[in-house]
Chains A and B, each alone.
Chain A
Amino acid sequence: MNLHAIRAIYLFEMARTWRTLLQSIVSPVISTSLYFVVFGAAIGSRITEIDGISYGAFIVPGLIMLSLLTQSIANASFGIYFPKFTGTIYELLSAPISFVEIVVSYVGAAATKSIILGLIILATAALFVPLRIAHPVWMLVFLVLTSVTFSLFGFIIGIWADGFEKLQIVPLLVITPLTFLGGSFYSINMLPPFWQTVTLFNPVVYLVSDFRWSFYDQADVPIGVSVAMTLVFLTACIAIVAWMFRTGYKLKS
Protein backbone atom coordinates (compact mmCIF):
# COMPACT_ATOMS: atom_id res chain seq x y z
CA MET A 1 0.00 0.00 0.00
CA ASN A 2 1.42 3.38 -1.06
CA LEU A 3 0.35 5.36 2.00
CA HIS A 4 2.57 8.31 1.13
CA ALA A 5 0.74 8.71 -2.17
CA ILE A 6 -2.69 8.50 -0.52
CA ARG A 7 -1.60 11.13 1.99
CA ALA A 8 -0.14 13.37 -0.74
CA ILE A 9 -3.28 13.30 -2.90
CA TYR A 10 -5.61 13.66 0.09
CA LEU A 11 -3.75 16.69 1.45
CA PHE A 12 -3.46 18.18 -2.06
CA GLU A 13 -7.22 17.95 -2.50
CA MET A 14 -7.95 19.28 0.98
CA ALA A 15 -5.55 22.18 0.35
CA ARG A 16 -7.69 23.07 -2.65
CA THR A 17 -10.71 23.30 -0.34
CA TRP A 18 -9.02 25.74 2.02
CA ARG A 19 -7.71 27.73 -0.94
CA THR A 20 -11.22 28.02 -2.37
CA LEU A 21 -12.98 28.38 0.96
CA LEU A 22 -15.55 30.81 -0.39
CA GLN A 23 -16.91 28.49 -3.05
CA SER A 24 -16.29 25.23 -1.18
CA ILE A 25 -17.87 26.01 2.17
CA VAL A 26 -19.28 29.51 2.41
CA SER A 27 -21.46 29.50 -0.70
CA PRO A 28 -23.29 26.19 0.08
CA VAL A 29 -23.93 27.44 3.63
CA ILE A 30 -25.40 30.69 2.30
CA SER A 31 -27.56 28.77 -0.22
CA THR A 32 -28.87 26.50 2.52
CA SER A 33 -29.60 29.48 4.79
CA LEU A 34 -31.64 30.98 1.96
CA TYR A 35 -33.66 27.75 1.72
CA PHE A 36 -34.41 28.06 5.42
CA VAL A 37 -35.53 31.66 4.98
CA VAL A 38 -37.71 30.89 1.94
CA PHE A 39 -39.11 27.44 2.77
CA GLY A 40 -38.80 27.46 6.53
CA ALA A 41 -39.86 30.98 7.44
CA ALA A 42 -41.83 32.41 4.50
CA ILE A 43 -43.64 29.31 3.19
CA GLY A 44 -43.21 27.09 6.23
CA SER A 45 -45.17 29.46 8.44
CA ARG A 46 -48.27 28.65 6.34
CA ILE A 47 -47.73 24.86 6.48
CA THR A 48 -48.89 22.89 9.47
CA GLU A 49 -46.65 20.33 11.11
CA ILE A 50 -45.75 17.21 9.17
CA ASP A 51 -45.92 14.02 11.22
CA GLY A 52 -45.77 16.12 14.38
CA ILE A 53 -42.61 17.98 13.30
CA SER A 54 -42.53 21.69 12.47
CA TYR A 55 -42.00 22.24 8.75
CA GLY A 56 -38.76 24.16 9.31
CA ALA A 57 -37.28 21.26 11.27
CA PHE A 58 -38.76 18.68 8.85
CA ILE A 59 -36.80 20.00 5.88
CA VAL A 60 -33.40 20.05 7.66
CA PRO A 61 -32.36 16.46 6.77
CA GLY A 62 -33.48 16.96 3.16
CA LEU A 63 -31.55 20.22 2.87
CA ILE A 64 -28.40 18.65 4.28
CA MET A 65 -28.85 15.75 1.88
CA LEU A 66 -29.31 18.18 -1.04
CA SER A 67 -25.97 19.86 -0.27
CA LEU A 68 -24.28 16.57 0.51
CA LEU A 69 -25.21 15.04 -2.84
CA THR A 70 -24.39 18.06 -5.00
CA GLN A 71 -21.15 18.89 -3.19
CA SER A 72 -19.90 15.28 -3.06
CA ILE A 73 -20.39 15.00 -6.79
CA ALA A 74 -18.90 18.43 -7.51
CA ASN A 75 -15.83 17.89 -5.30
CA ALA A 76 -14.97 14.44 -6.57
CA SER A 77 -15.74 15.06 -10.23
CA PHE A 78 -13.70 18.26 -10.31
CA GLY A 79 -10.86 16.64 -8.32
CA ILE A 80 -10.19 13.99 -10.99
CA TYR A 81 -11.36 15.99 -14.01
CA PHE A 82 -9.02 18.92 -13.44
CA PRO A 83 -5.78 16.86 -13.77
CA LYS A 84 -7.23 15.44 -16.98
CA PHE A 85 -7.98 18.94 -18.22
CA THR A 86 -4.56 20.39 -17.35
CA GLY A 87 -2.64 17.26 -18.37
CA THR A 88 -1.12 16.65 -14.91
CA ILE A 89 -2.89 13.27 -14.92
CA TYR A 90 0.33 11.93 -16.50
CA GLU A 91 1.94 12.03 -13.08
CA LEU A 92 -0.85 10.04 -11.47
CA LEU A 93 -0.76 7.41 -14.22
CA SER A 94 3.02 7.05 -14.08
CA ALA A 95 3.21 6.85 -10.28
CA PRO A 96 3.54 3.56 -8.38
CA ILE A 97 -0.02 3.77 -7.10
CA SER A 98 -2.94 1.36 -7.53
CA PHE A 99 -6.41 2.37 -8.64
CA VAL A 100 -7.76 1.55 -5.18
CA GLU A 101 -5.29 4.02 -3.68
CA ILE A 102 -6.22 6.68 -6.22
CA VAL A 103 -9.93 6.22 -5.50
CA VAL A 104 -9.45 6.14 -1.72
CA SER A 105 -7.49 9.40 -1.76
CA TYR A 106 -9.71 11.39 -4.17
CA VAL A 107 -13.02 10.05 -2.87
CA GLY A 108 -11.80 10.30 0.72
CA ALA A 109 -10.95 13.97 0.28
CA ALA A 110 -14.23 14.74 -1.51
CA ALA A 111 -16.26 12.91 1.14
CA THR A 112 -14.38 14.66 3.94
CA LYS A 113 -15.28 18.03 2.48
CA SER A 114 -18.93 17.03 2.16
CA ILE A 115 -19.08 15.72 5.72
CA ILE A 116 -17.57 18.96 7.04
CA LEU A 117 -20.08 20.88 4.97
CA GLY A 118 -22.99 18.73 6.19
CA LEU A 119 -22.02 19.35 9.81
CA ILE A 120 -21.69 23.10 9.19
CA ILE A 121 -25.15 23.18 7.60
CA LEU A 122 -26.51 21.20 10.53
CA ALA A 123 -25.04 23.80 12.91
CA THR A 124 -26.47 26.59 10.74
CA ALA A 125 -29.91 24.94 10.79
CA ALA A 126 -29.80 24.81 14.56
CA LEU A 127 -29.74 28.62 14.49
CA PHE A 128 -33.06 28.71 12.61
CA VAL A 129 -35.11 25.79 13.95
CA PRO A 130 -35.22 23.62 17.11
CA LEU A 131 -33.43 20.38 16.22
CA ARG A 132 -33.36 16.98 17.80
CA ILE A 133 -31.35 14.00 16.64
CA ALA A 134 -32.92 10.73 17.71
CA HIS A 135 -30.10 8.48 16.45
CA PRO A 136 -26.86 10.55 16.33
CA VAL A 137 -24.61 7.59 15.52
CA TRP A 138 -26.85 6.53 12.63
CA MET A 139 -27.02 10.15 11.51
CA LEU A 140 -23.22 10.16 11.21
CA VAL A 141 -23.23 6.73 9.52
CA PHE A 142 -25.72 7.98 6.89
CA LEU A 143 -23.74 11.21 6.49
CA VAL A 144 -20.54 9.27 5.79
CA LEU A 145 -22.21 6.59 3.66
CA THR A 146 -23.99 9.13 1.46
CA SER A 147 -20.88 11.32 1.10
CA VAL A 148 -18.70 8.37 0.10
CA THR A 149 -21.29 6.94 -2.29
CA PHE A 150 -21.91 10.19 -4.13
CA SER A 151 -18.23 11.14 -4.11
CA LEU A 152 -17.65 7.85 -5.92
CA PHE A 153 -20.44 8.76 -8.31
CA GLY A 154 -18.82 12.17 -8.83
CA PHE A 155 -15.47 10.47 -9.45
CA ILE A 156 -17.11 8.42 -12.22
CA ILE A 157 -18.55 11.60 -13.76
CA GLY A 158 -15.11 13.26 -13.56
CA ILE A 159 -13.50 10.41 -15.50
CA TRP A 160 -16.36 10.25 -18.00
CA ALA A 161 -16.52 13.99 -18.66
CA ASP A 162 -14.41 15.41 -21.45
CA GLY A 163 -15.57 19.00 -21.00
CA PHE A 164 -16.79 21.32 -18.28
CA GLU A 165 -20.32 21.11 -19.71
CA LYS A 166 -20.49 17.35 -19.14
CA LEU A 167 -19.20 17.91 -15.63
CA GLN A 168 -22.28 20.01 -14.91
CA ILE A 169 -24.90 18.00 -16.81
CA VAL A 170 -25.44 15.17 -14.33
CA PRO A 171 -25.58 17.34 -11.16
CA LEU A 172 -27.87 19.90 -12.82
CA LEU A 173 -30.15 17.71 -14.88
CA VAL A 174 -30.28 14.56 -12.78
CA ILE A 175 -29.25 15.03 -9.17
CA THR A 176 -30.94 18.37 -8.40
CA PRO A 177 -34.34 17.32 -9.82
CA LEU A 178 -34.15 13.93 -8.10
CA THR A 179 -33.34 15.65 -4.81
CA PHE A 180 -36.17 18.15 -5.12
CA LEU A 181 -38.58 15.35 -6.04
CA GLY A 182 -37.09 12.98 -3.45
CA GLY A 183 -39.00 14.18 -0.43
CA SER A 184 -36.53 16.82 0.72
CA PHE A 185 -39.27 19.37 1.25
CA TYR A 186 -42.26 17.09 1.84
CA SER A 187 -43.23 13.65 3.03
CA ILE A 188 -43.95 11.32 0.14
CA ASN A 189 -47.03 10.20 2.11
CA MET A 190 -48.50 13.60 1.13
CA LEU A 191 -48.54 12.53 -2.53
CA PRO A 192 -51.39 10.68 -4.30
CA PRO A 193 -50.86 6.86 -4.29
CA PHE A 194 -49.76 6.74 -7.95
CA TRP A 195 -47.00 9.34 -7.45
CA GLN A 196 -45.93 7.66 -4.24
CA THR A 197 -45.20 4.53 -6.30
CA VAL A 198 -43.39 6.52 -8.98
CA THR A 199 -41.29 8.28 -6.31
CA LEU A 200 -40.02 4.95 -5.03
CA PHE A 201 -37.96 4.68 -8.23
CA ASN A 202 -36.05 7.77 -7.14
CA PRO A 203 -32.96 6.64 -5.17
CA VAL A 204 -32.76 9.98 -3.35
CA VAL A 205 -36.04 9.14 -1.58
CA TYR A 206 -34.24 6.38 0.33
CA LEU A 207 -31.33 8.61 1.28
CA VAL A 208 -33.57 11.41 2.56
CA SER A 209 -35.87 8.95 4.30
CA ASP A 210 -33.15 7.17 6.28
CA PHE A 211 -31.42 10.45 7.11
CA ARG A 212 -34.72 11.94 8.37
CA TRP A 213 -35.30 8.77 10.39
CA SER A 214 -31.98 9.37 12.21
CA PHE A 215 -33.31 12.81 13.24
CA TYR A 216 -36.99 12.25 14.01
CA ASP A 217 -37.39 8.47 14.16
CA GLN A 218 -39.84 8.69 11.25
CA ALA A 219 -39.26 7.39 7.73
CA ASP A 220 -41.19 7.37 4.46
CA VAL A 221 -39.85 3.92 3.60
CA PRO A 222 -38.63 1.12 5.91
CA ILE A 223 -35.12 1.90 7.16
CA GLY A 224 -33.74 -1.51 6.14
CA VAL A 225 -34.83 -0.94 2.55
CA SER A 226 -33.24 2.53 2.55
CA VAL A 227 -29.88 1.24 3.78
CA ALA A 228 -29.97 -1.65 1.31
CA MET A 229 -30.69 0.69 -1.61
CA THR A 230 -27.82 2.99 -0.60
CA LEU A 231 -25.44 0.02 -0.37
CA VAL A 232 -26.59 -1.23 -3.77
CA PHE A 233 -25.78 2.16 -5.30
CA LEU A 234 -22.41 2.23 -3.50
CA THR A 235 -21.55 -1.24 -4.82
CA ALA A 236 -22.57 -0.24 -8.34
CA CYS A 237 -20.29 2.83 -8.19
CA ILE A 238 -17.36 0.73 -6.93
CA ALA A 239 -17.91 -1.76 -9.76
CA ILE A 240 -17.99 1.01 -12.39
CA VAL A 241 -14.82 2.67 -11.03
CA ALA A 242 -13.05 -0.70 -10.96
CA TRP A 243 -14.05 -1.31 -14.59
CA MET A 244 -12.87 2.19 -15.59
CA PHE A 245 -9.41 1.60 -14.14
CA ARG A 246 -9.14 -1.96 -15.42
CA THR A 247 -9.91 -0.87 -18.97
CA GLY A 248 -8.26 2.55 -18.70
CA TYR A 249 -11.57 4.12 -19.83
CA LYS A 250 -10.88 7.76 -20.78
CA LEU A 251 -7.65 7.62 -18.76
CA LYS A 252 -5.22 5.52 -20.78
CA SER A 253 -5.13 4.86 -24.49
Chain B
Amino acid sequence: MQPIISISNVSKTYATGFEALKSISLDIKRGEIFALLGPNGAGKTTLISIICGIVTASTGQVLADGHDIVRDYRAARSKIGLVPQELTTDAFETVFDTVSFSRGLFGKPRNPAHIEKVLRDLSLWDKRNNKIMTLSGGMKRRVLIAKALSHEPQILFLDEPTAGVDVELRRDMWNMVRDLRETGVTIILTTHYIEEAEEMADRIGVINGGELILVENKAELMRKLGKKEMLLHLDQPLQAVPASLAEFDLHLARDGHELIYVYDTQGERTGITTLLRGLADEGIRFRDIETRQSSLEDIFISLVKDRT
Protein backbone atom coordinates (compact mmCIF):
# COMPACT_ATOMS: atom_id res chain seq x y z
CA MET B 1 0.00 0.00 0.00
CA GLN B 2 1.28 3.50 -0.86
CA PRO B 3 2.45 5.33 2.28
CA ILE B 4 0.24 8.27 3.24
CA ILE B 5 3.34 10.36 3.90
CA SER B 6 6.62 9.82 2.14
CA ILE B 7 9.63 11.84 3.28
CA SER B 8 12.75 11.58 1.09
CA ASN B 9 16.14 13.02 2.08
CA VAL B 10 14.67 16.05 3.81
CA SER B 11 17.19 18.33 5.46
CA LYS B 12 16.92 21.74 7.01
CA THR B 13 19.67 24.25 7.70
CA TYR B 14 18.51 27.56 9.15
CA ALA B 15 19.98 30.92 8.11
CA THR B 16 22.06 30.87 11.29
CA GLY B 17 23.83 27.78 10.00
CA PHE B 18 22.12 25.46 12.50
CA GLU B 19 21.47 22.08 10.90
CA ALA B 20 18.09 21.05 12.34
CA LEU B 21 17.52 18.01 10.11
CA LYS B 22 20.06 15.80 8.36
CA SER B 23 18.66 13.97 5.35
CA ILE B 24 15.58 12.37 6.90
CA SER B 25 13.76 9.66 4.97
CA LEU B 26 10.62 8.12 6.41
CA ASP B 27 7.37 6.57 5.25
CA ILE B 28 4.22 6.81 7.35
CA LYS B 29 1.74 4.01 6.74
CA ARG B 30 -1.88 4.76 6.09
CA GLY B 31 -4.04 4.49 9.20
CA GLU B 32 -1.25 4.01 11.74
CA ILE B 33 -0.37 5.90 14.88
CA PHE B 34 3.26 6.92 14.56
CA ALA B 35 5.12 8.39 17.52
CA LEU B 36 8.16 10.54 16.95
CA LEU B 37 10.34 10.56 20.03
CA GLY B 38 13.31 12.76 20.70
CA PRO B 39 14.82 15.09 23.25
CA ASN B 40 14.37 18.87 23.08
CA GLY B 41 15.86 20.36 19.93
CA ALA B 42 16.05 16.97 18.19
CA GLY B 43 14.17 18.28 15.12
CA LYS B 44 10.69 16.86 15.73
CA THR B 45 8.80 20.12 15.35
CA THR B 46 10.95 21.19 12.39
CA LEU B 47 10.08 17.97 10.57
CA ILE B 48 6.36 18.41 11.25
CA SER B 49 6.53 22.09 10.28
CA ILE B 50 8.12 21.19 6.94
CA ILE B 51 5.43 18.63 6.15
CA CYS B 52 2.69 21.14 7.05
CA GLY B 53 4.19 23.98 5.00
CA ILE B 54 5.24 26.24 7.86
CA VAL B 55 8.98 25.76 7.34
CA THR B 56 10.72 25.39 3.99
CA ALA B 57 12.99 22.37 3.62
CA SER B 58 16.56 23.00 2.44
CA THR B 59 16.60 19.77 0.42
CA GLY B 60 14.42 16.74 -0.18
CA GLN B 61 10.84 15.98 -1.02
CA VAL B 62 7.66 15.22 0.94
CA LEU B 63 4.55 13.60 -0.51
CA ALA B 64 1.27 13.71 1.39
CA ASP B 65 -1.16 11.13 0.04
CA GLY B 66 0.83 11.22 -3.21
CA HIS B 67 0.80 15.03 -3.51
CA ASP B 68 4.06 17.00 -3.43
CA ILE B 69 3.77 19.46 -0.53
CA VAL B 70 5.40 22.25 -2.58
CA ARG B 71 4.21 21.78 -6.15
CA ASP B 72 0.75 20.48 -5.25
CA TYR B 73 0.39 22.23 -1.91
CA ARG B 74 -3.37 22.72 -2.08
CA ALA B 75 -4.15 19.02 -2.40
CA ALA B 76 -1.44 18.07 0.11
CA ARG B 77 -2.37 20.56 2.82
CA SER B 78 -6.11 19.92 2.57
CA LYS B 79 -5.39 16.35 3.77
CA ILE B 80 -3.51 17.50 6.85
CA GLY B 81 -4.59 18.80 10.25
CA LEU B 82 -2.03 20.20 12.69
CA VAL B 83 -2.25 20.64 16.45
CA PRO B 84 0.74 22.81 17.37
CA GLN B 85 2.76 22.49 20.53
CA GLU B 86 2.11 26.03 21.76
CA LEU B 87 -1.37 27.11 22.85
CA THR B 88 -1.69 29.57 19.98
CA THR B 89 -5.30 30.65 19.78
CA ASP B 90 -7.27 33.78 19.13
CA ALA B 91 -8.32 35.34 22.40
CA PHE B 92 -11.51 37.19 21.54
CA GLU B 93 -13.21 34.72 19.21
CA THR B 94 -15.79 32.23 20.42
CA VAL B 95 -15.00 28.52 20.28
CA PHE B 96 -17.60 27.85 17.57
CA ASP B 97 -16.44 30.75 15.41
CA THR B 98 -12.76 29.90 15.57
CA VAL B 99 -13.37 26.25 14.67
CA SER B 100 -15.68 27.29 11.81
CA PHE B 101 -13.00 29.72 10.63
CA SER B 102 -10.46 26.89 10.41
CA ARG B 103 -12.84 24.83 8.29
CA GLY B 104 -13.27 27.70 5.84
CA LEU B 105 -9.53 28.34 5.75
CA PHE B 106 -8.99 24.77 4.57
CA GLY B 107 -11.42 25.26 1.71
CA LYS B 108 -14.44 23.46 3.10
CA PRO B 109 -17.98 24.91 2.93
CA ARG B 110 -19.75 25.76 6.17
CA ASN B 111 -21.05 22.68 7.98
CA PRO B 112 -22.43 23.51 11.43
CA ALA B 113 -23.44 19.85 11.97
CA HIS B 114 -19.82 18.69 11.58
CA ILE B 115 -18.52 21.46 13.82
CA GLU B 116 -21.09 20.45 16.44
CA LYS B 117 -19.96 16.82 16.23
CA VAL B 118 -16.29 17.79 16.64
CA LEU B 119 -17.08 20.03 19.59
CA ARG B 120 -19.24 17.38 21.24
CA ASP B 121 -16.57 14.71 20.76
CA LEU B 122 -14.07 16.99 22.51
CA SER B 123 -16.50 17.99 25.30
CA LEU B 124 -16.45 21.57 24.03
CA TRP B 125 -20.07 21.92 22.98
CA ASP B 126 -21.09 23.58 26.26
CA LYS B 127 -18.31 26.12 25.73
CA ARG B 128 -19.16 26.88 22.10
CA ASN B 129 -20.19 30.47 22.80
CA ASN B 130 -17.37 31.19 25.25
CA LYS B 131 -14.53 33.43 24.21
CA ILE B 132 -11.32 31.44 24.01
CA MET B 133 -9.56 33.74 26.49
CA THR B 134 -11.94 32.52 29.21
CA LEU B 135 -10.96 28.86 28.78
CA SER B 136 -8.45 26.85 30.81
CA GLY B 137 -5.22 25.58 29.25
CA GLY B 138 -6.67 22.10 28.81
CA MET B 139 -9.75 23.47 27.09
CA LYS B 140 -7.61 25.60 24.79
CA ARG B 141 -5.72 22.45 23.84
CA ARG B 142 -9.06 20.84 22.94
CA VAL B 143 -9.95 23.89 20.84
CA LEU B 144 -6.70 23.48 18.88
CA ILE B 145 -7.58 19.85 18.24
CA ALA B 146 -11.09 20.85 17.17
CA LYS B 147 -9.63 23.39 14.75
CA ALA B 148 -7.34 20.73 13.28
CA LEU B 149 -10.26 18.32 12.85
CA SER B 150 -12.68 20.91 11.49
CA HIS B 151 -11.86 20.16 7.85
CA GLU B 152 -11.96 16.36 8.23
CA PRO B 153 -8.24 15.70 7.60
CA GLN B 154 -6.89 12.26 6.68
CA ILE B 155 -3.61 12.97 8.46
CA LEU B 156 -3.40 14.51 11.90
CA PHE B 157 -0.19 15.86 13.42
CA LEU B 158 -0.17 16.21 17.18
CA ASP B 159 2.90 18.10 18.37
CA GLU B 160 3.26 17.38 22.08
CA PRO B 161 -0.53 17.07 22.46
CA THR B 162 -0.61 16.39 26.18
CA ALA B 163 2.17 18.70 27.35
CA GLY B 164 0.95 20.46 30.45
CA VAL B 165 -2.45 18.80 30.64
CA ASP B 166 -3.76 16.85 33.62
CA VAL B 167 -3.93 13.08 33.78
CA GLU B 168 -7.67 12.90 33.12
CA LEU B 169 -7.46 15.06 30.01
CA ARG B 170 -4.46 13.06 28.81
CA ARG B 171 -6.49 9.86 29.06
CA ASP B 172 -9.37 11.55 27.21
CA MET B 173 -7.00 12.57 24.45
CA TRP B 174 -5.58 9.09 24.13
CA ASN B 175 -9.10 7.76 23.74
CA MET B 176 -9.89 10.42 21.17
CA VAL B 177 -6.77 9.55 19.18
CA ARG B 178 -7.72 5.87 19.19
CA ASP B 179 -11.26 6.75 18.06
CA LEU B 180 -9.85 8.86 15.25
CA ARG B 181 -7.66 6.02 14.11
CA GLU B 182 -10.76 3.82 13.97
CA THR B 183 -12.21 6.27 11.44
CA GLY B 184 -9.14 5.84 9.22
CA VAL B 185 -7.19 8.96 10.22
CA THR B 186 -3.42 8.55 10.25
CA ILE B 187 -1.89 10.09 13.36
CA ILE B 188 1.65 11.31 13.84
CA LEU B 189 2.45 12.52 17.31
CA THR B 190 5.52 13.85 18.99
CA THR B 191 5.74 13.49 22.70
CA HIS B 192 7.95 13.87 25.71
CA TYR B 193 5.83 11.36 27.58
CA ILE B 194 7.27 8.07 26.49
CA GLU B 195 4.45 6.25 28.23
CA GLU B 196 2.21 7.99 25.71
CA ALA B 197 4.06 6.42 22.81
CA GLU B 198 4.17 3.09 24.64
CA GLU B 199 0.44 3.28 25.26
CA MET B 200 -0.70 4.35 21.82
CA ALA B 201 1.80 4.07 18.98
CA ASP B 202 1.92 1.32 16.38
CA ARG B 203 5.38 2.40 15.25
CA ILE B 204 8.03 4.54 16.81
CA GLY B 205 10.68 6.77 15.30
CA VAL B 206 13.51 8.09 17.43
CA ILE B 207 15.09 11.34 16.30
CA ASN B 208 18.14 12.92 17.86
CA GLY B 209 20.39 15.75 16.69
CA GLY B 210 18.42 16.02 13.44
CA GLU B 211 18.96 12.36 12.56
CA LEU B 212 16.43 9.59 12.52
CA ILE B 213 18.12 6.97 14.68
CA LEU B 214 15.61 4.23 14.15
CA VAL B 215 12.09 3.47 13.02
CA GLU B 216 10.56 0.32 14.38
CA ASN B 217 7.30 -1.39 15.13
CA LYS B 218 6.73 -0.71 18.82
CA ALA B 219 6.33 -4.34 19.85
CA GLU B 220 9.36 -5.34 17.80
CA LEU B 221 11.42 -2.52 19.25
CA MET B 222 10.62 -3.56 22.79
CA ARG B 223 11.29 -7.19 21.96
CA LYS B 224 14.63 -6.48 20.28
CA LEU B 225 15.99 -3.85 22.58
CA GLY B 226 14.13 -4.71 25.75
CA LYS B 227 16.00 -6.26 28.68
CA LYS B 228 14.55 -7.99 31.67
CA GLU B 229 15.65 -7.72 35.26
CA MET B 230 15.22 -10.30 38.01
CA LEU B 231 15.25 -8.81 41.49
CA LEU B 232 16.05 -11.02 44.47
CA HIS B 233 15.21 -9.74 47.96
CA LEU B 234 17.94 -11.29 50.13
CA ASP B 235 17.52 -12.64 53.65
CA GLN B 236 20.94 -11.34 54.68
CA PRO B 237 22.73 -8.40 53.01
CA LEU B 238 25.75 -9.18 50.86
CA GLN B 239 28.97 -7.14 50.90
CA ALA B 240 29.96 -8.23 47.41
CA VAL B 241 28.89 -10.61 44.64
CA PRO B 242 30.64 -13.97 45.25
CA ALA B 243 33.46 -14.73 42.82
CA SER B 244 31.78 -18.00 41.79
CA LEU B 245 28.90 -15.93 40.31
CA ALA B 246 31.13 -13.50 38.40
CA GLU B 247 29.98 -14.88 35.03
CA PHE B 248 26.46 -13.44 35.63
CA ASP B 249 25.51 -9.78 35.06
CA LEU B 250 24.78 -9.16 38.73
CA HIS B 251 24.84 -6.08 40.87
CA LEU B 252 23.81 -5.22 44.37
CA ALA B 253 21.33 -2.56 45.43
CA ARG B 254 19.88 -1.14 48.66
CA ASP B 255 23.04 -1.75 50.72
CA GLY B 256 23.29 -5.33 49.60
CA HIS B 257 19.70 -6.26 50.43
CA GLU B 258 18.79 -6.70 46.77
CA LEU B 259 20.55 -8.62 44.04
CA ILE B 260 19.67 -7.66 40.48
CA TYR B 261 20.24 -9.93 37.52
CA VAL B 262 19.91 -8.43 34.02
CA TYR B 263 19.25 -10.93 31.25
CA ASP B 264 18.25 -11.03 27.62
CA THR B 265 14.85 -12.59 27.00
CA GLN B 266 15.84 -13.34 23.40
CA GLY B 267 18.95 -15.26 24.42
CA GLU B 268 19.15 -19.02 23.91
CA ARG B 269 19.50 -19.44 27.66
CA THR B 270 18.52 -16.90 30.26
CA GLY B 271 20.84 -18.43 32.84
CA ILE B 272 18.22 -18.17 35.57
CA THR B 273 18.30 -21.82 36.57
CA THR B 274 22.11 -21.89 36.80
CA LEU B 275 22.15 -18.65 38.77
CA LEU B 276 19.60 -19.93 41.31
CA ARG B 277 21.60 -23.13 41.70
CA GLY B 278 24.80 -21.09 42.22
CA LEU B 279 23.10 -18.98 44.87
CA ALA B 280 21.96 -22.11 46.70
CA ASP B 281 25.53 -23.45 46.54
CA GLU B 282 26.80 -20.21 48.10
CA GLY B 283 24.16 -20.47 50.82
CA ILE B 284 22.53 -17.23 49.76
CA ARG B 285 18.84 -17.31 50.67
CA PHE B 286 16.18 -14.93 49.43
CA ARG B 287 12.68 -13.99 50.58
CA ASP B 288 11.13 -12.90 47.28
CA ILE B 289 11.70 -12.71 43.52
CA GLU B 290 10.30 -10.21 41.06
CA THR B 291 10.99 -9.54 37.39
CA ARG B 292 10.73 -6.32 35.45
CA GLN B 293 10.60 -5.66 31.68
CA SER B 294 12.53 -2.56 30.59
CA SER B 295 10.23 0.21 29.41
CA LEU B 296 10.31 2.17 26.17
CA GLU B 297 11.77 4.98 28.23
CA ASP B 298 14.77 2.83 29.16
CA ILE B 299 15.24 1.91 25.50
CA PHE B 300 14.89 5.52 24.42
CA ILE B 301 17.40 6.78 26.97
CA SER B 302 19.94 4.13 26.05
CA LEU B 303 19.51 4.87 22.32
CA VAL B 304 19.96 8.60 22.76
CA LYS B 305 22.86 8.14 25.21
CA ASP B 306 24.65 5.83 22.78
CA ARG B 307 24.62 8.62 20.18
CA THR B 308 25.93 11.40 22.41
Contacts and interface: CB of A to CB of B under 8 A. Distances in A.
Interface stretch (B85-93, B114-122, B229-237, B297-305): B85-93
A139 B84 CA distance: 47
A93 B54 CA distance: 5
A90 B105 contact: no
A8 B86 CA distance: 23
Nearest to B51: A94
Contacts of A88: 88-90
A96 B107 contact: yes
Interface stretch (B24-32, B70-78, B183-191): B70-78
Given A86-B88, A90-B82, A90-B84, A97 B56 contact: no
A5 interface: yes
B106 interface: yes
B108 A96 contact: no
Interface in B263-289: none
Q: Is the interface of A mostly helix, strand, loop or mixed?
A: helix
A252 interface: yes
A166 interface: no
A9, A90, A93 — which one has the most chain B CB atoms within 10 A of its CB?
A90
B248 interface: no
A91 B147 contact: yes
Given A95-B77, A253-B15, A5 B82 contact: no
B272 to A, nearest CB: 53
Interface of B: 14-15, 52-56, 73-78, 80, 82, 84, 86, 88-93, 97, 100-109, 147
Given A4-B106, A93-B52, A96-B106, 17 more contacts: A4-B105, A5-B104, A5-B105, A8-B101, A9-B105, A12-B93, A86-B89, A88-B90, A90-B88, A91-B102, A91-B105, A94-B53, A96-B76, A96-B78, A98-B74, A252-B54, A253-B14
